[in-house]
Amino acid sequence: MKAAAEAQQRLLALQAVDTAIAQLDHRKNTLDETAQARALQAQRAHAAERVIEVETRVFDLEADLAKAEADLVPVRERRERNQKRVQDGSVGDPKALQGLLAEIDHLGRRISELEDAELDAMQELEDARELAAEAVAAKGVIEDEMRAVLKVREEKLTEIAADRGRREAERDAIAAALPPELLSLYTRIAQKAGGVGAALLRGGRCGGCQLEANSADLTRYREAASDEVLRCEECNRILVRTEESGL
């Protein structure tokens, strides 16, 4: 392929811009904040599970307390009715009265047991509510940190996008000035060679693969016309000659 030496040298400018764009893309894909956000997202999911766990426990204990309170009501009412019958003298039979007093005593013990169960349920519920509040607060801390990280990440992404936009405009201007065939060749090579389609031949060494050309290749490079598009024998990239090439 033939292309003016000036056009070939413009490939170096195009390559520099493409390398800068690739670096911006790499930076975008490897932001520390992205990894931090993923880690915080996992922590938040775990914290959310913990909140559900402790809030479910609170719900169950509220039901237990309600049951304990409900269980007390009929027992207390029965004892009150029995005590009223004893106090108003409506039970005249001594044997019946003795049985009623025994039942009142039994109901008293039963009420004591139920009140102990109620107090235990109240304590468990209080403890569970404290744990639930702590779990909600811990989840909130993670979410606050996550929002801060995402804000920084968004700022950096916006900056990268702006830089990339400027680089793309710069690339378009350089590419527009290149012969279509030369640009096409550069693009094909870059796609196969890790984004590097053209490299400077500096001091007899390819700037792409960093290998030094042998004497036969140097002779061929030296004898080639200035408009001949050279390719590295090792990496197949376009070799651009300048005063630094050592030819």
Q: Could you report the per-residue pLDDT of 59-89, keeping only the tens digit for each?
A: 999 999 999 999 999 999 999 998 988 888 7
* 61 shares a domain with 46: yes
Q: What is the pLDDT of residues 127-167, one digit of tens each?
A: 999 999 999 999 999 999 999 999 999 999 999 999 999 99
pTM for the full predicted model: 0.75
Does a structural domain hold residue 173?
Answer: no
| Predicted pLDDT at 48 | 97
Is 170 domain-assigned?
Answer: no
Q: Is residue 195 part of a domain?
A: yes
| Residue 148 and residue 183 in one domain | no
Considering the domain architecture, whether residues 96 and 218 belong to the same structural domain is answered as: no
Residue 119 lies in a domain: yes
What is the pLDDT confidence band of residue 169, given thresholds at 50, 70 and 90? very high
How confident is the model at residue 200, as a pLDDT?
97
Of 133, 165, 197, the residue at which a domain comes to its end is 165
Give the pLDDT band (50/70/90) at residue 246.
Answer: confident
Report yes or no on 141 lying in a domain.
Answer: yes
For residue 99, pLDDT over 90 is answered with no
Count H helices and E strands in the chain, helices first.
Answer: 5, 4
CATH, residue 229: 1.10.287.1490
Do the domain assignments include residue 17? yes
Identify the CATH number of the domain in which residue 108 sits. 1.10.287.1700
As a whole number of angstroms, the distance between CA 235 and CA 247 comes to 20
The pLDDT of residue 176 is above 80: yes
Give yes or no for a contact between 79 and 108, defined as CB atoms under 8 angstroms apart. yes
Q: 17 and 35 share a domain? A: no
My answer on whether 98 and 196 are in the same domain is: no
What pLDDT sits at residue 39? 97
Q: How many domains does the chain have?
A: 2
pLDDT band for 90, please (50, 70, 90 cuts).
Answer: confident
| Domain encompassing residue 83 | 31-165
End-to-end CA distance of the chain: 20
Residues 210 and 148 in one domain: no
Confidence at 26, pLDDT banded by 50, 70, 90: very high
Q: Are residues 148 and 44 in the same domain?
A: yes
Query: Comparing C-alpha atoms, which of 1, 5, 15, 2 is closest to residue 190?
Result: 15
Q: Please indicate, yes or no, whether residues 83 and 127 belong to a single structural domain of this protein.
A: yes
129 and 229 in a common domain: no
- Using CA atoms, how far apart are residues 247 and 241, in angstroms rounded to an integer? 9
Residue 247 has pLDDT above 80, yes or no: no
Query: Shortest CA distance to 246 belongs to which of 208, 219, 216?
Result: 219
214 within some domain? yes
Retrieve residue 104's tokens.
């009142």
